[in-house]
Chains A and B, each alone.
Chain A
């Protein structure tokens, strides 16, 4: 039996039933946001941005899960797996490496955050190094990365809704309406609302992915069932990676290890955990989640090669939309799978929204606490919370406008530029938390040099490729960061204070 299919010209998959489900789902998020507002215990920053530091294992695990896996996972990763084949399995270990990064600093950071009342990553940096310029630099890098993250995911959201509605809902309308909804439930209950909505989003995400994976096994016979077509259409994906590709593989693991573990919203979940035991168990389970998420979406992309060969060629569809083509094909050939297809599309929407709302909340907290508060140190918590909501509204409006204006950058490239920058924060956190002799001036010098180098290389400023010798610009930047930090640390005697 030939599995070949042609990329559909319209992806109007959901129909009235699916549209109803998605509208119901989005409305339920507003209701949960209101419940989060009702559960508010006090008008404090810790209550708004950290849910009162009371997240239990169920909520914490699902909010970590829903936040870590985003629209990039469901569309960007699948598209990349379509283009790179089995090589993209590096993404599975890379997502595990993120938890490896947390091992280095989360246990101690959690204890310190409860003792000293940290709200943002900048609070730890300020407490540890006492250098305002370094704190602001860390906050600005975090804000840049999160802004980028929201931009990427809003783009995914807009494209997705436009596609699955067959163009009935335009990209711009989807971005604006969903941005307003995300802002609304976030402003109502802060992290409590965001984490509670993440529970629903995490469950939909996991059930949707597992359900589609099972359907792929029955429908196409899994990977063994499509291996003949794979060999015929893309024989090169069977070959082991070249030496340079293996170096890039390792570089990907490093950039995830040092970059994604520095996401401000992930660090804030370390602060928000009810206890160390809850956090430890959540991370231990999270270490295995890539097997049930990333691995399955990579398989989806590879099977897409067999079912939709020749995407990205003239007149064919885009590989970034192979997820949608596969779902459409499953539903077309087996109409009984329509509810599963709708659930999976709901999962993509859920994953994307849960990532955006968390990033928005973290961005708002950093602007309010790390930048505004030092200028107005006499502000009350109630005033700062209000400022945080105003900042969220401005940010959401600004990023939504940018997303609509910048539609033609590819999803994966945006994600890489963001991680290049985030990596540079890692020495301040991972080494700063354990090395008492590490000084603020050396960390600051390293961070500036590392960031300049990473951004310059990423944009090919030195007429070098963006990945010299197969290594990401962020990893080169991190190497320069550590080297400069070490030199300044050694050249300036420890007895000298800033």
Chain B
């Protein structure tokens, strides 16, 4: 037995003091009232007979003292918070680390998942620990780390709040070496586990088929034609047949029934030419599959549509060539004199020209220093800069992706005020490439403050890429980003995230990205300035799906110690003290004790 609140010496001293004080008080209590009676002759006989009658009569005088001392000592020990490990389990700090890797969702032979077993085990651990034990509930995915609490209910609530999710596994560190660490896992996708951690295994071999790859890509021969690459793996211990289905909201349907050997994968590329586009889904159906999360995968098939672009120029071979070579562009050319806004166009490219009224569709304006009149929707040139060089550019902006502007030479460029535009690239003196500043205030535009004729930019390899990036930024659909379930990062600042059900998903904005939690696979959408970026969130992780491959062999399962008392010992001591107090009160007033 140990004492959690007081030192053994303090407990001893307190016990001695309490005993002495109670005995002293007991004798003080026996101050009797004097009463004259006619004769004590008969009383003497009665008392003498009573004293002779039994040992009990002698004992009961001291019984009150004994009861009082017992009550006092019970209270002293209660204050000292004793711990008897055999009765209440050991008290201390316990960290319960729950393996929240997706493989924990594998269903076992009893119909319950490994996760459910793990939760039961954790609850048993909480119940069997000492009542004064402080628990810290942590997971391996970094989603949850509770503060230490001695409230078993709170600890269980924390355990209930956890859910398996895909995230790089990590084992949390404990603050001190005295903390007892329990790790509950199936041993499949686990981080490095410290030697001191006690492990509880929830593992049983199961069957599992998984979609380990699903992506859409353009065909090399026809950029507007797409194909889907699917890989299905059998992580079970026997060969089985499975049915692969690829479907979309439209008429596109593909079905394939295959047999896959144990520990083998099936790979196939499917032609999606009959698919209209939009979200598509791949599923597999296998008998007795234990893990459902990896049986479904999503991606996005861009709509098959060319961008109708009107190039307004007096003649620019570079631009025309770059646009004509872009397989996503349906180009038409017009002279500035003949410019009329046509709703059929998807975007405009103005070369040494800018209309007085901003077009309703996005526009790429190339050069504003030569004869471009001042228009209200574009920055007004306030001079020229001779031989500017690209000193900085924003790699993260979609227009500037994959561009290298180091050796671009420019003869002269218009100087504009950088304060009202989004500067994409600039020299030390002026922005050289700028974009529309305020989201939602008219259509997008990208502006080159220099003329292509006064620069060697058109002959650089970055030029067609720049043009394509600009037109893509103007609204061309893109392939979906591929992410796994769990914490998802999107390289778009302050984007609004919509889940597969169309409802907004809470997200957190960082300097260069937006982060949200995708608990379930599905097609998520990040919306920024009216632009949509699809995010295909799938499990698709061989490590998680390989549910029959425990990394560690932990041997026999370690059972947590059972405890007999639910509360700490002090609770029962205090209860006993109160009970005895009531008993003493009752016996005293009934004159059973004196």
A binds B: no
